[in-house]
Amino acid sequence: MPTRPRITTILPCTNLASATCFFLRLGFNAPSKDEMNEWDQYLMLDHPNGSEIHLREIGPDEEGWLEPHKNSFGIYVYSEDVEALAMEFANEIIEQGKKPEIKEWGLLEFSLNGPDGCLVRVGWPVGDIEMGKRKVGEKSE
């Protein structure tokens, strides 16, 4: 894939393997063994939709830089599969109803405590979800 201008999140974590598993559940591609070994304490994950996230494991000499459960980092994952992902993470959704909600800004979304307590929001525009459902209904008629 050609390089294009973009922004990629570099997320610090205390356990690279655990953080990787979390993002695999969100639909990111599993890294190869070569990718796992390419960088010490650093891993780049990509998603079929073109998104990327870089995970950087904080070493023991960097103590105090990241405090789990007092983590100020947050990311937003735009996914057309918001409803399927909500089912995958049903017991981990932090909103009271434990399901995605339509927010006043027009996105169906839910929030999770991600690796080391970072805020992870998952959402997609409601209008696009409804349009997609209508198209699926039209095909089955």
Which two three-digit tokens encode residue 18?
């655990």
- In a domain? residue 105: yes
- CA–CA separation, 33 and 36 (whole Å): 5
Task: Write out pLDDT tens, residues 11-34.
Answer: 999 899 999 999 999 999 998 888
Domain count, the chain: 1
76: containing domain: 9-63+71-140
Position 141 scores a pLDDT of 52
Q: From the CB of residue 2, how many other CB atoms can be counted at a distance below 10 Å?
A: 3
* Three-state secondary structure call for residue 85: helix
- In a domain? residue 99: yes
- Asked whether residue 136 carries a pLDDT value surpassing 60, the answer given is no
- In a domain? residue 57: yes
Task: Write out pLDDT tens, residues 119-128.
Answer: 999 999 998 7
Q: Which amino acid is at 35?
A: E
